[in-house]
Each structure stands twice: as C-alpha cells, then as structure tokens.
Homo-oligomer: A and B are copies of this chain.
C-alpha cells in the first residue's frame, strides 16, 4: 500500500481497514494483524498503527482482547456502511454537485464516467 501525501497516514490506515471490512475480506470476529505486524507491512511507525486501531475501537469497528489482539466487531460491516453512507450524503454529495456545476460537468457526463469506470473495473 502506498500513501497519499496531504492526508494523515493514520486516517488512510483507518480507511484501508474499513474497506477490508466493507468488502468482506475481513469477517466479524476475524483477528486483525497485530500492531507491530501491520506497521512492518506498511513500513510505518507502530505508534501510527496504534492510533488507527484506537480510533477504530472507539468507533466500535474492532474490539480488543487483552494479550491476544484486535478482532473485527460483529456489527462492524453494517455500522461502517451506514456511517460511510451518512457521511457520503451529507458531505461528499453537496460538495460534488457544487464542483460539477462550477466546472460544467453534467449528470450525463457522470453516467458515462461511471460506466467507463465499471468496464475498467471488470476487465
């Protein structure tokens, strides 16, 4: 995984893990990688991973079993999905529409882009 610059790394890790959960790659009660393990994998400071895990735990997406590790919560998928969806509707969409109007991007353009993107996705 490569990180974009301009956004904090710990946020990108959170997003990465949420995506794993949303896509079902990680199932409820699966054990997630240990802090140190993931830190090595991502080439990142363990403190940074720790911060991401703490945040995810606060949100209830993962839980900790002392001395054992972190695990995916049973309701993580629904919880994460609804949170994302709410954020999507209240933050992403309004901004999206404003930008579209500003740069002259029509809803038709957007549909084309969507189908094009789906093709690229499946190929």
**A residues neighboring B (CB under 8 Å):** 5, 8-9, 19, 22-23, 45, 64, 66-67, 81, 84-85, 88-89, 92-94, 96-97, 99-100, 102-105, 107, 110-111, 113-114, 117
Contacts and interface: CB of A to CB of B under 8 A. Distances in A.
Nearest to A115: B107
Interface of A is mostly: helix
A114 B103 contact: no
Contact of A110 (B81, B85, B110): B110
Identical subunits present: 4
A88 B25 CA distance: 29
Contacts of A19: 102
Contacts of A96: 92, 96
